[in-house]
Chains A and B, each alone.
Chain A
Amino acid sequence: MTSPTRVVTLRIDDREVSAREDETILQVARDNEIFIPTLCCLEGLSTWGACRLCLVEVSGSNKLLAACATRVAQDLEVKTNTPRILAYRRTILELLFSERNHVCSVCVANGECELQNLAQRCGVDHIRVSYRYPELSLDLSNDLFRLDPNRCILCTRCVRVCDEIEGAHTWDVMGRGIDCQVITDLKAPWGESKSCTSCGKCVHVCPTGALSQRGTAIAEVHHHRDFLPYLTQMRGERD
């Protein structure tokens, strides 16, 4: 017999909100329309905690905590928009832009890119660090989809959706540090992947233009993500 979930009250940016005690700060903030940027987090996938954009200040902790991975608690005081946090968000976004070749004007996801949206919303109007300009080649071996690592931000949504929802585990990350890359199988060309089911879930969860359907041109990407909460909900009910 599990004990009933309790309801707690806490403050986010001086707003009194109530939540179930098993919810994360991010969930509660979203329920209350308080903006916290995220890139790796996606409802229906496991918590990853890697983009660090959702960091918030929490009373009783001198460290910044990831809202996606931190549970709420009674009387918690959360701050999502202090000058320190706003500055770090901008810095993290700048770092992401400097890492690969993010050229929005010729990107399939222009206008429907989460990185672009966040940059606009967080006021990133220029990049103060030097660009890295890595040389990365596209994988066009798949008949239906393409991988453009120039736009990849290594959020690993594709890895997680493929593993956790589709059950194929075609995607994974190879290398470490700045050399990390998402790969299919053991770096076989996507088109030759034996495990890929061509379901396309990875393409739809990609926040940028790194994964896209073939045949889409600049700014033609449209993500359909409604399947994800639906699938997880249905599975939850089945279990």
Chain B
Amino acid sequence: MPSDELVALKTKAEQRNRANRICVCTAASCQSVGADRVHKAFEAEVNKSQREEQVEVRAVGCMGLCSAGPLVRIENDETAVLYRNVTEQDASALAQSIGRAPVERLICPTDVPFFTRQHKIVLANCGQIHPERIEDYVAVGGYEALYRAITEMTPGEVLADVKASGLRGRGGAGYPTGLKWQTVAKSPDPVKYVVCNADEGDPGAFMDRSVLESDPHRVLEGMAIAAYAVGANLGYVYVRAEYPLAISRLRLAIRQAKAANLLGQNVAGTRFEFSVDIRLGAGAFVCGEETALLLSIEGRRGQPRPRPPYPAERGLFGRATLINNVETYANIATIVDRGGASYASIGTERSKGTKVFALAGQVKNTGLIEVPMGISLREIVEDMGGGVPAGGRIKAVQTGGPSGGCIPNEHLDMPVDYDSLQQVGSIMGSGGMIVMDESSNMVEVARYFMEFSMSESCGKCVPCRVGTYQMHQILSRMLSGCAGPGDLSMLEELTRAVGETSLCGLGQSAPNPIKSTLRYYRSEYEEALRKSRPSMPLAEEGVR
């Protein structure tokens, strides 16, 4: 028996439904190339021809193929045609094509691997529903999982489902989500919190942004289910201030959910209570580290503290806190809906489900994809990504951002899962995937990421604060041709020392880009050294 709230919202959505829909992507990347103007042009066009009763112009979220934006999909209940690089001038021709033959020159084929190899769970509604309308989300089955969880299931049953799903944290480290939930659920703390980490900061990564911009209710529903399972009544979404569209859509979503009685006190008429608040980051990458993030929510300086105690035992305001990434929460409704076992049937033995990647760099098709775990890296970058634009050879694929590594071409056939990526010296990370062609100098790549880690180090612990600076210095010397003979061995020693002695994940993983490029492209470092003429002797006076 669905709740009255959901039935009412569904009716509302049905009343709005029209036979034909013009769906315009209004996520950040399409907006940056003029999707807003395109959207307005379509509205004016439909208005002019007085076809509002037959045609709906719908602003939707990310359709994935960002490199072909602005994307527009014209659909009715039987067919759908995707158009690429649509401009305001095209609006009239496209609007008139409804009910007639599609406009050939703008068609974006959807029977290509980029679309057909995807398996959408997290992104299922992205590009389909209007992200600013809760009724659209409810119409496709949204909030039903939450309702079912709080009316028909015990918290223990929800937890069991999440454990059975084998879901691992999508923020990067891949800690089993069910285990984390269980620790918080078991805590005797009378006050508990649920926190969503939306402080996405890896260069080239925009998965969380797209999910929040395209389907914010899915994240809220996941958080609410989590709160029910662990016994929390208050949640925070920590989102970086650089994502204004995601923030405004999330704010709106929270208001709508509250108004629809799906958040707040007595959710859907039950005794369950859960409220969500937003906290904005202030531009510090390190605040994506969980202990730093929690301090930042408390209003303190965002810097990590030693663990244990883990946030699950003592987190926000000293209380038991569940902290998961956006994508992790976005999986929850589906897991509860279809059951943990069904979710676990996707993926590999130790990495279940799907993963969203932000495909960027030297590939034809850049954008957002969701693939089942275990797919080969080559399938992603060559088949789906379409390979290097000018037909060149892929030199390496970088995953995991500044905490990850470069995977060379010879390893492209490896499956994409947590453990395989770790074996080749990279990490799954949050989902950034940057493709590099032969023109990339790997020492330069390493320096780029080291510069990032150096400027994002909080400065609390010595190895990260000074070690990232010194590694950056050595790489800079190598690239500017004034490195000394001892620099390479010192660099290697620093990668080990900083990696093993730093306080938090940022410092511990900061040397990974150097480690992996040294492992596969050592000759480029040696080449840089051979070309070097140390004009300035290294200071070796010793302790004065």
Chain A residues at the B interface, C-beta cutoff of 8 Å: 47, 49-53, 55, 63-64, 66, 69, 84, 87-88, 91-92, 95-99, 102-105, 116, 119, 124-132, 153-154, 172-173, 175-180
Tell whether A49 pairs with B494 under 8 Å between CB atoms, given A154-B459, A177-B465. Answer: no
CB distance from B491 to the nearest CB of A (A): 10
Please give, as numbers and ranges, the residues of chain B lying within 8 Å of A116 by CB-CB distance.
543
Counting chain A CB atoms within 10 Å of each CB, which of B306, B463, B543 scores highest?
A: B543
Please give, as numbers and ranges, the residues of chain B lying within 8 Å of A104 by CB-CB distance.
543-544
Q: Could you pull out 6 A-B pairs where Cβ atoms are within 8 angstroms?
A: A66-B503, A88-B501, A95-B470, A130-B473, A154-B465, A173-B301
Tell whether A95 pairs with B463 under 8 Å between CB atoms, given A64-B501, A103-B544. Answer: yes
Cβ of B456 within 8 Å of any chain A Cβ, yes or no, is: yes
Interface string of B517-544 (1 = CB under 8 A from A): 0000000000000000000001111111
* Contact-residue size bin, chain B (C-beta under 8 Å from the other chain): 35 or more
**Top 8 A-B pairs ranked by shortest CB distance?**
A180-B459, A126-B542, A49-B306, A95-B466, A177-B457, A69-B306, A91-B497, A50-B461
Other than A95-B462, A95-B467, give 4 A-B pairs with Cβ distance below 8 A.
A66-B306, A66-B503, A96-B462, A127-B540
Cβ of B294 within 8 Å of any chain A Cβ, yes or no, is: no
Residue in chain B with minimal CB distance to A132: B469
B539 and A50 contacting across the interface, CB-CB below 8 Å: no
A126 and B503 contacting across the interface, CB-CB below 8 Å: no
Please give, as numbers and ranges, the residues of chain A lying within 8 Å of B462 by CB-CB distance.
50-53, 92, 95-96, 153-154
Cβ of B490 within 8 Å of any chain A Cβ, yes or no, is: yes
B543 and A126 contacting across the interface, CB-CB below 8 Å: yes
B500 partner, pick from A53, A88, A97, A105, beta carbons under 8 A: A88
CB distance from B263 to the nearest CB of A (A): 35
Question: Considering the chains assembled together, what is the distance between the CA atoms of A29 and B538 in angstroms?
Answer: 38
CB distance from A27 to the nearest CB of B (A): 15
B486 and A128 contacting across the interface, CB-CB below 8 Å: yes
Cβ of B460 within 8 Å of any chain A Cβ, yes or no, is: yes
A130 and B463 contacting across the interface, CB-CB below 8 Å: no
A119 and B466 contacting across the interface, CB-CB below 8 Å: no
Please give, as numbers and ranges, the residues of chain A lying within 8 Å of B538 by CB-CB distance.
130
Interface string of B473-515 (1 = CB under 8 A from A): 1000000000000100010011001001111000000000000
Residue in chain B with minimal CB distance to A131: B539
Please give, as numbers and ranges, the residues of chain A lying within 8 Å of B543 by CB-CB distance.
97, 102, 104, 116, 119, 124-127
A55 and B501 contacting across the interface, CB-CB below 8 Å: yes
Please give, as numbers and ranges, the residues of chain B lying within 8 Å of A125 by CB-CB distance.
542-543
Residue in chain B with minimal CB distance to A96: B462
B466 and A178 contacting across the interface, CB-CB below 8 Å: yes
Q: Which B179-210 residues have a C-beta within 8 angstroms of A? A: none
Q: Which B441-468 residues have a C-beta within 8 angstroms of A? A: 454-463, 465-468
Cβ of B305 within 8 Å of any chain A Cβ, yes or no, is: yes
Please give, as numbers and ranges, the residues of chain A lying within 8 Å of B493 by CB-CB distance.
91
B459 and A130 contacting across the interface, CB-CB below 8 Å: no
Residue in chain B with minimal CB distance to A63: B500
Cβ of B284 within 8 Å of any chain A Cβ, yes or no, is: yes
B457 and A98 contacting across the interface, CB-CB below 8 Å: no
B539 and A176 contacting across the interface, CB-CB below 8 Å: no
Residue in chain B with minimal CB distance to A47: B306
Residue in chain B with minimal CB distance to A65: B306
Please give, as numbers and ranges, the residues of chain A lying within 8 Å of B286 by CB-CB distance.
176
B305 partner, pick from A49, A96, A105, beta carbons under 8 A: A49
Question: Considering the chains assembled together, what is the distance between the CA atoms of A64 and B461 in angstroms?
Answer: 14
Counting chain B CB atoms within 10 Å of each CB, which of A92, A116, A124 scores highest?
A: A92
CB distance from B102 to the nearest CB of A (A): 53
B497 and A92 contacting across the interface, CB-CB below 8 Å: yes
Counting chain B CB atoms within 10 Å of each CB, which of A92, A96, A176 scores highest?
A: A176
Question: Considering the chains assembled together, what is the distance between the CA atoms of A51 and B502 in angstroms?
Answer: 9
B457 and A176 contacting across the interface, CB-CB below 8 Å: yes
Residue in chain B with minimal CB distance to A175: B459
Question: Considering the chains assembled together, what is the distance between the CA atoms of A92 and B500 in angstroms?
Answer: 11
B503 and A49 contacting across the interface, CB-CB below 8 Å: yes
Please give, as numbers and ranges, the residues of chain A lying within 8 Å of B306 by CB-CB distance.
47, 49, 66, 69
A96 and B466 contacting across the interface, CB-CB below 8 Å: yes
CB distance from A91 to the nearest CB of B (A): 4
Please give, as numbers and ranges, the residues of chain A lying within 8 Å of B301 by CB-CB distance.
172-173
Tell whether A102 pairs with B544 under 8 Å between CB atoms, given A154-B465, A178-B466, A180-B465. Answer: yes
A127 and B539 contacting across the interface, CB-CB below 8 Å: yes
Question: Considering the chains assembled together, what is the distance between the CA atoms of A177 and B502 in angstroms?
Answer: 13
Please give, as numbers and ranges, the residues of chain B lying within 8 Å of A180 by CB-CB distance.
459, 465
Question: Considering the chains assembled together, what is the distance between the CA atoms of A51 and B541 in angstroms?
Answer: 24
Tell whether A50 pairs with B503 under 8 Å between CB atoms, given A88-B497, A96-B462. Answer: yes
B461 and A52 contacting across the interface, CB-CB below 8 Å: yes
CB distance from B5 to the nearest CB of A (A): 45
Please give, as numbers and ranges, the residues of chain B lying within 8 Å of A84 by CB-CB distance.
500
Please give, as numbers and ranges, the residues of chain B lying within 8 Å of A128 by CB-CB distance.
486, 490, 540
Q: Which B340-395 residues have a C-beta within 8 angstroms of A? A: none
Please give, as numbers and ranges, the residues of chain B lying within 8 Å of A64 by CB-CB distance.
500-501
Tell whether A177 pairs with B469 under 8 Å between CB atoms, given A95-B463, A96-B462. Answer: yes
Please give, as numbers and ranges, the residues of chain B lying within 8 Å of A103 by CB-CB distance.
544
A178 and B454 contacting across the interface, CB-CB below 8 Å: yes
B457 and A92 contacting across the interface, CB-CB below 8 Å: no
CB distance from A194 to the nearest CB of B (A): 21
A177 partner, pick from B458, B494, B540, B544, beta carbons under 8 A: B458
CB distance from B441 to the nearest CB of A (A): 23
Residue in chain A with minimal CB distance to B302: A176
Question: Considering the chains assembled together, what is the distance between the CA atoms of A154 and B457 in angstroms?
Answer: 14
CB distance from A218 to the nearest CB of B (A): 13
CB distance from A87 to the nearest CB of B (A): 8
CB distance from B476 to the nearest CB of A (A): 11
Residue in chain A with minimal CB distance to B473: A130
B456 and A177 contacting across the interface, CB-CB below 8 Å: yes
Tell whether A176 pairs with B284 under 8 Å between CB atoms, given A49-B306, A95-B467, A127-B542. Answer: yes
Please give, as numbers and ranges, the residues of chain B lying within 8 Å of A176 by CB-CB distance.
284, 286, 455-459
A105 and B544 contacting across the interface, CB-CB below 8 Å: yes
Counting chain A CB atoms within 10 Å of each CB, which of B462, B494, B500, B544 scores highest?
A: B462
Please give, as numbers and ranges, the residues of chain A lying within 8 Å of B494 by CB-CB distance.
91, 129
Question: Considering the chains assembled together, what is the distance between the CA atoms of A75 and B473 in angstroms?
Answer: 43
Question: Considering the chains assembled together, what is the distance between the CA atoms of A199 and B459 in angstroms?
Answer: 27
CB distance from B460 to the nearest CB of A (A): 5
Q: Which B293-308 residues have a C-beta within 8 angstroms of A? A: 301, 305-306
Question: Considering the chains assembled together, what is the distance between the CA atoms of A154 and B462 in angstroms?
Answer: 9
Tell whether A178 pairs with B459 under 8 Å between CB atoms, given A47-B306, A102-B544, A103-B544. Answer: yes
Please give, as numbers and ranges, the residues of chain A lying within 8 Å of B457 by CB-CB distance.
176-178
CB distance from A152 to the nearest CB of B (A): 12
CB distance from A12 to the nearest CB of B (A): 19
Please give, as numbers and ranges, the residues of chain A lying within 8 Å of B456 by CB-CB distance.
176-177
Please give, as numbers and ranges, the residues of chain A lying within 8 Å of B540 by CB-CB distance.
126-128
Residue in chain A with minimal CB distance to B458: A176
CB distance from A215 to the nearest CB of B (A): 24
B460 partner, pick from A50, A55, A92, A153, beta carbons under 8 A: A50
